Amino acid sequence: MNKLTIYLFALMCLFMTACGDSDDDPVVDPTNPEKPVTPENECNVTFSCILPEEFPNAKLQKLTLNVKDINTGKTYTFEQTPSSPITAKLKVGLYEIAAKGSITAKVNNKDVTYNVNGLIQSLEVTNKEQTAELKLFAEYGKSGFVLAEVFFAGTKTPQDAQYFADKYFVIYNNSDQTLYADSLAIAETKFLSVMKENYSPDIMSEAVAVQALYMIPGDGKSHPVAPGESILICDNALNHKKANPNSFDLTKADFEWADESTNPNISDVNNPKVPDLTKIYCSTKTIWSPHNRGFASYLLVKMGTNKEDYLANYKYDFKYDLVVESGTYPMSGSCYKIPNSWVVDAVGLSVEALFQWLVVDPSLDRGWTHCGKIDFDETRYGKSVRRKVERRTAEGVAILKDTNNSTEDFEADQIADPYHKF
């Protein structure tokens, strides 16, 4: 072997070492063997944690990051101590970052420990060193109204036909004092958890795009709800057992939503003995029925303005590129938006086999729950998602779990019961 051959062989080996993407021993700089070299397809990502804003004096105690490579499904774990931030060496790609840990904060001059969590749904890692902001949120029950049960799947008749007029929401007073339900509203998200698009402008950090919005009427103190009591809101407040033995008697509902259909073949049925919600907006020209496979998510909203002002000033026009096998097509749409500051509670929903993203900001909800695990799951009928009981007061009143993470807060696939006692 002549000198030129030996030189080329050595150069080739060096090139393969410097450009390799293996997880073996660190690569070294041939000009400085003591200095590690980061391969071109990797970089250091430093996570800058933003502590919960409601605790300005909080101190981070510990933090664990689960970093999931969205393309491969592989998950990596990194630990942080209070004295040093997490710097993760990651390959170029797209990642989901889920954080769990704890903080201490001064509350009434006492040190109190809270669990915290955070989420970055989609972090693009390039071949340059970068810093990623990670907002952390405290896990603690916020006193107030919560969505205690959501029944969206509908039922089936003995003849195996879909029955969808019996869907309902249960709103629960999770506080220790009487609250008033006036101006509370139920909203359905416009975007679906199984279909991710890059919508522009991106308003998620400040608002939620919605396609249905129905409000409890009242003068501010018309509808008191005692601690541990609930309000039942349904589609049609009828005894559905007469038409479908597998359904429920909803004549005891507190409110129903009503629509005037423009299609004479599709009409709503109204119970005059049960008050109607005020319809603020709905995208359908017939009747609204919550998505029966759980693709949309739901909000409990405290309306911050009247109907006329809302319709005049809260429209949301968006654009996105629809990418399909045949090409890319520019698309546009319109709906309305709910400021995040109006959202009292949020329930994320999806289907395990199809989940792509959360459709609300992590400050509102950092997880999702379900009825059924696959699309068109036949087991979902007659089932709901129901909030867990975290503890009971000395008087036996249930305090429901509310950490703004539907994965943790809800029991999935529960036998639906509109009159369930917590």
pLDDT on residue 360: 97
pLDDT on residue 238: 97
**Helix residue ranges, H only, 125-185:** none
For residue 40, name the pLDDT band (cuts at 50, 70, 90): low
Nearest to 364 by CA among 347, 351, 385: 347
86 token code pair? 């997490």
pLDDT on residue 107: 80
Name the residue with tokens 């139920």: 186
pLDDT on residue 16: 38
Task: Give the lowest-confidence range in 96-110, 169-183, 235-249.
Answer: 96-110
> Which range, 98-102, 220-224, 261-265, has the best average confidence (pLDDT)?
220-224
Phi (first) and psi of residue 31, to 5 degrees: -85, -15
Query: How far is Cα of residue 402 from the mean position of the Cα atoms in its chain?
Result: 13
For residue 143, name the pLDDT band (cuts at 50, 70, 90): low
Mean pLDDT of 260-276: 90
Edge-to-edge strand ranges of the sheet holding 130-135 = 86-91, 42-50, 130-135
Which comes out higher in pLDDT, residue 143 or 138? 138
Nearest to 154 by CA among 82, 98, 236: 236
Q: What percent of the chain has pLDDT over 90?
A: 71
Give the Cα separation of 274 and 257 in Å (integer): 10
- Provide the 8-state DSSP code for 14: H
Give the Cα separation of 76 and 66 in Å (integer): 6
Phi (first) and psi of residue 358, to 5 degrees: -90, 140
247 token code pair? 């359904």
pLDDT on residue 405: 94
For residue 106, name the pLDDT band (cuts at 50, 70, 90): confident
For residue 126, name the pLDDT band (cuts at 50, 70, 90): confident
Q: What is the pLDDT of residues 284-313, one digit of tens each?
A: 999 999 999 999 999 999 999 999 999 999
| Count of beta carbons in the 10 Å neighbourhood of residue 163 | 18
Task: Specify the amino acid at residue 315.
Answer: K
| Strand boundaries in 81-219, DSSP class E | 86-91, 93-107, 110-125, 130-135, 137-139, 145-151, 155-156, 162-163, 168-173, 179-180, 184-189, 207-215
Q: What percent of the chain has pLDDT over 70?
A: 89
Residues near 360 by Cβ (< 8 Å), separated by ≥ 6?
189, 204, 208, 297, 299, 343, 346, 348
pLDDT on residue 41: 82
Task: Give the lowest-confidence range in 70-79, 171-180, 240-249.
Answer: 70-79
Nearest to 253 by CA among 387, 418, 383, 416: 418
Q: What is the pLDDT of residues 342-389, one digit of tens each?
A: 999 999 999 999 999 999 999 999 999 999 999 999 999 999 999 999
- Cβ atoms of 218 and 276 within 8 Å: the answer is no
Classified as helix, coil or strand, 187 is strand
Phi (first) and psi of residue 3, to 5 degrees: -65, -40
Mean pLDDT of 4-18: 39
Give the Cα separation of 370 and 410 in Å (integer): 9
Q: What is the pLDDT of residues 233-265, one digit of tens each?
A: 999 999 999 999 999 999 999 999 999 888 888
For residue 6, name the pLDDT band (cuts at 50, 70, 90): very low
For residue 141, name the pLDDT band (cuts at 50, 70, 90): low
- Decide: residue 7, CB within 10 A, 0-12 exposed, 13-18 middle, 19+ buried: exposed
61, HSE (Cβ side, Cα atoms, 13 Å): 14
Name the residue with tokens 């309902």: 168
- Provide the 8-state DSSP code for 307: H
Query: How far is Cα of residue 1 from the mean position of the Cα atoms in its chain?
Result: 65
Q: What is the pLDDT of residues 42-70, one digit of tens each?
A: 889 999 889 988 888 889 998 999 999 98
Phi (first) and psi of residue 340, to 5 degrees: -55, -30
pLDDT on residue 5: 42
pLDDT on residue 28: 39
Give the Cα separation of 371 and 153 in Å (integer): 7
For residue 79, name the pLDDT band (cuts at 50, 70, 90): confident
- Mean pLDDT over the full length of the chain: 89
With 70 as the cut, is the pLDDT of residue 217 above it?
A: yes
CA-atom Rg of the chain in angstroms: 26
Task: Specify the amino acid at residue 246.
Answer: N
